[in-house]
C-alpha cells in the first residue's frame, strides 16, 4: 500500500495520526526537510496538532535535493517514523507536513511562500555549514559560496541568509507581520547567531530592511535533540515487511527526544509542549550542555571510533577504553556547562552512554565525522577554552582535537582513502600537503593555521598545543586503538 490521505483510514489505528490532517491549514514554513526534521519537529508538530489543533501544518522546503520532495509529494506529505530502542519499536504515520517544495526547482514558489499570510513561523534545519555566518565577527561570511552568490543577486537567492532576507523583504513590502524565525540547528545561541547573519546580509542589501528586521523579527534560540541516522534500504524494507506499506520517506530514530525553546513567537506557535517541548527564557545553558556533552562526545566517537575500525557508534560503545574516554570527555564538558535548575547532569551523562549504545540504532561514525570544521568550534574548542581558563584538565579536549587532526589525513590505518566530506576539504588537503604526515607537530601547526577555525586562546596556548601534539604523535605512531588504550589508562 502507498501512503496517501485517501489510504490513511485503511491503516491500523496505532499508525494513524490523532487528528484529521485535511482539517488543518499551514502555519510553518520550514527549510531543510531531511531525516532530522522529520523525526523531530515534524513529530512534535504532529503531537501538537493532535492535542491542541490549530492551523500549524508545515510547508517543507528542501534546499538542495529534489528526491525527498518528490517522495513526500507522492505520499501527500505522509511518512512513517519508527522510534527504536526503549523496549518495543513504535511506528506511526506523521501527517504534519502538508506541502513540499524544492528550492532548486521551485525557487519562485519558495519565495512566494514567505508572503502567504498564514505563515507565522519560519523554522530551519539546514546543517551548520549552510549558514555562512562568521561567528567571531557575528556577521556574514562573505567568502561562503551561497552568501557570495546571493549578494550578487539578492532577488534570486539560493542560500539560507539570502533567502530569509529576500523573504522578509517581500513580507514587509506586502505589509504583512513578520514571522518568528526559529533556528533548529546544532549551533550555540542559534537564534542570536542567525539574527546576526540575517541582519548582516540585509544591511548590505537594504539598510531600511535591516532596521525593519531588527525591530520586527524575533529569532528565538532552541536546543534540539534526537539521534536520527540517515535512512537506509533496511528502513524501507522494515516498513514494507511489517505493515505492507511502501514508504519512500520512511525514517527511524531513537525513542528519546528533547526540544528546549525560547518562547518568543509574536504571531503564535503550535502547542509543541504537548509533545514535551520545554519553553524557557534562556536556552543557552541547555545548548551548552547538549553541544558539549552529546555532540562533543559524538565527535570524539566519530573520529577515534572510525579510525579504530568502528563503522557504527554502537560498535564503538563496545570498545571499553573508548567508552572510558567518552565518559571522561562528558565529565570534563559537564564542568563547563553551568547550573541547570531542572536537569541532573550526571543522569544526563549516563543516559547518553545508553543512548549511544542503543543496539537498534545504526548511526555511522562517518556520518558524524562530516563537516568537522563546522562542528568542532562549539563542541570541542569552546569548552576547551573554558577548561584552560579554569585550570581544569584539557586532556579530553586535546585528545578529541588530535583524533580530528588524524582524521584529516584522509586515509585509514590500512591505507584506504576516505572522503573527509568537509566544506573546507580543499584547504585541509592543501594544509596536509605541506607537512610530513608522520610528524604530529607539523600536522597540528598546519591545521591550526586554517583561518578562523581555532580560537586564538587555543592556538596560542602552549599547553593545548603540546597536549594535542603528544596525543596525535601516539595516534600516528601506534594507531588509534593503542592511542585510545594509553589515554584511558
Residues near ligand CS2, by CB under 6 A: 186, 225-227, 295, 298, 367-368, 375
DSSP string, 213-234: HHHH-----EEEE---PPP-HH
Straight-line distance from the first to the last Cα atom of the chain, in angstroms, rounded to the nearest whole number: 55
CB-based contacts of 436, cutoff 8 Å, min separation 6:
442
Least gap, CB of 226 to ligand CS2 (angstroms): 5
| Residue whose CB is less far from ligand CS2, 285 or 466 | 285
Cβ–Cβ under 8 Å, residues 191 and 221? yes
Least gap, CB of 266 to ligand CS2 (angstroms): 28
| Residue whose CB is less far from ligand CS2, 76 or 225 | 225
| Residue whose CB is less far from ligand CS2, 190 or 295 | 295
What cell was used for 110?
519558495
Least gap, CB of 301 to ligand CS2 (angstroms): 9
Give the burial class of 245: count Cβ atoms within 10 A of its Cβ; 0-12 exposed, 13-18 middle, 19 or more buried: buried
Nearest to 344 by CA among 393, 288, 289, 291: 289
Least gap, CB of 367 to ligand CS2 (angstroms): 6
What is the C-alpha separation between 182 and 128, in angstroms, rounded?
Answer: 14
| Residue whose CB is less far from ligand CS2, 66 or 258 | 258
Cβ–Cβ under 8 Å, residues 29 and 120? no
- Give phi and psi for 234, each to the nearest 5: -65, -35
Least gap, CB of 318 to ligand CS2 (angstroms): 19
What cell was used for 428?
585541509
| Residue whose CB is less far from ligand CS2, 168 or 337 | 337
| Residue whose CB is less far from ligand CS2, 91 or 358 | 358
323, containing H or E segment: helix 320-334
Least gap, CB of 171 to ligand CS2 (angstroms): 30
| Residue whose CB is less far from ligand CS2, 91 or 295 | 295
Q: Which residues pair with 59 in a beta bridge?
A: 29, 99
CA distances from 154 to 84, 97, 146, 203, 445 (A): 43, 28, 11, 12, 38
Least gap, CB of 228 to ligand CS2 (angstroms): 7
Least gap, CB of 361 to ligand CS2 (angstroms): 10
Give the burial class of 153: count Cβ atoms within 10 A of its Cβ; 0-12 exposed, 13-18 middle, 19 or more buried: exposed
| Residue whose CB is less far from ligand CS2, 298 or 349 | 298
The total number of residues written for the chain in this structure? 489
Amino acid at each position: 500500500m502507498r501512503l496517501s490521505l485517501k489510504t490513511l483510514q485503511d491503516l491500523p489505528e496505532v499508525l494513524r495520526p490523532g487528528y484529521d490532517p485535511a482539517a488543518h491549514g499551514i502555519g510553518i514554513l520550514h527549510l531543510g526537510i531531511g531525516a532530522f526534521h522529520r523525526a523531530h519537529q515534524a513529530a512534535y508538530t504532529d503531537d501538537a496538532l493532535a492535542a491542541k489543533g490549530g492551523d500549524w501544518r508545515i510547508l517543507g522546503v528542501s534546499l538542495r535535493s529534489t528526491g525527498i520532495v518528490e517522495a513526500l509529494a507522492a505520499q501527500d506529505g505522509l511518512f512513517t517514523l519508527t522510534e527504536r530502542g526503549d523496549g518495543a519499536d513504535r511506528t506511526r504515520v506523521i501527517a504534519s507536513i502538508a506541502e513540499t517544495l524544492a528550492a532548486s526547482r521551485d525557487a519562485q514558489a519558495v519565495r512566494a511562500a514567505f508572503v502567504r499570510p498564514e505563515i507565522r513561523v519560519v523554522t530551519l534545519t539546514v546543517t551548520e555549514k549552510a549558514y555562512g555566518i562568521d561567528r567571531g565577527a557575528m556577521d556574514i561570511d562573505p567568502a561562503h559560496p551561497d552568501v557570495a552568490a546571493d549578494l550578487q543577486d539578492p532577488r534570486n537567492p539560493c542560500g539560507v541568509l539570502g533567502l530569509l532576507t529576500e523573504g522578509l523583504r517581500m513580507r514587509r513590502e506586502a505589509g504583512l507581520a513578520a514571522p518568528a524565525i526559529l533556528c533548529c540547528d546544532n549551533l550555540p545561541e542559534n537564534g542570536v547567531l542567525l539574527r546576526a547573519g540575517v541582519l548582516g546580509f540585509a544591511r548590505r542589501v537594504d539598510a531600511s530592511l535591516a532596521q525593519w528586521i531588527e525591530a520586527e523579527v524575533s529569532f528565538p534560540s532552541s536546543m534540539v535533540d534526537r539521534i536520527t541516522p540517515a535512512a537506509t534500504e533496511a528502513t524501507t524494507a522494515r516498513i514494507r515487511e511489517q505493515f505492507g506499506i511502501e514508504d519512500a520517506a520512511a525514517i527511524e530514530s531513537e525513542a528519546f527526544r528533547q526540544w528546549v525553546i525560547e518562547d518568543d513567537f509574536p504571531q503564535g506557535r503550535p502547542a509543541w509542549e504537548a509533545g514535551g517541548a520545554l519553553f524557557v527564557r534562556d536556552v543557552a545553558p541547555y545548548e551548552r550542555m547538549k553541544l558539549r556533552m552529546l555532540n562533543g562526545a559524538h565527535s570524539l566517537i566519530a573520529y577515534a571510533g572510525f579510525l579504530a575500525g568502528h563503522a557504527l557508534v554502537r560498535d564503538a560503545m563496545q570498545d571499553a577504553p573508548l567508552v572510558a574516554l567518552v565518559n571522561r570527555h562528558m565529565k570534563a564538558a559537564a564542568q563547563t556547562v553551568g547550573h541547570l535548575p531542572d536537569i541532573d547532569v550526571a543522569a544526563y551523562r549516563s543516559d547518553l552512554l545508553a543512548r549511544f549504545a542503543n543496539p537498534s540504532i545504526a548511526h555511522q561514525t562517518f556520518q558524524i565525522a562530516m563537516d568537522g570544521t563546522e562542528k568542532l568550534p562549539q563542541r570541542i574548542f569552546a569548552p576547551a577554552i573554558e577548561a584552560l581558563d579554569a585550570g581544569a584538565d584539557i586532556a579530553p579536549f586535546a585528545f578529541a582535537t588530535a583524533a580530528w587532526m588524524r582524521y584529516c589525513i584522509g586515509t585509514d590505518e590500512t591505507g584506504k582513502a576516505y572522503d573527509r566530506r568537509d566544506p573546507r576539504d580543499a584547504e585541509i588537503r592543501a594544509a596536509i600537503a605541506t607537512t610530513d604526515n608522520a610528524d604530529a607537530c607539523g600536522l597540528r601547526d598546519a591545521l591550526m593555521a586554517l583561518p578562523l577555525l581555532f580560537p586564538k586562546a587555543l592556538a596560542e596556548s602552549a599547553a593545548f598545543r603540546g597536549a594535542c601534539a603528544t596525543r596525535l604523535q601516539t595516534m600516528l605512531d601506534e594507531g588509534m586503538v593503542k592511542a585510545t588504550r594509553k589515554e584511558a589508562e
